[in-house]
Amino acid sequence: MIKLKEEIVMKLDEIRAGTLGGTLCSIWASITLGDLIQTVIMAALGTLVSYTMSQLLQRKNNKG
């Protein structure tokens, strides 16, 4: 009985690993270099805007 339960758990682990591997492979195959570059540029731009706005708001609060 215990051996059967261990086999079922092992099968479920194999199914989960296979599903995760297949999902990651399909996502990896659909990402292009252009998408990656666009993501990096947008992240950098978002960081720059966030930093600039926080500095402007900090200056405004210090003066007022």
Average pLDDT of the chain?
A: 89
- pLDDT of amino acid 34: 95
1-60: pLDDT as tens digits: 667 677 777 788 898 999 999 999 998 889 999 999 999 999 999 999 999 999 999 999
Q: Residue 10: its pLDDT value, please?
A: 78
Domain ranges of the chain: 1-30, 32-64
The pTM is what? 0.57
The DSSP output letter for 54 is H
What SS3 state is found at 50? helix
The tokens describing 11, both together, are 């099968």
53-62 pLDDT, tens digit per residue, is 999 999 999 9
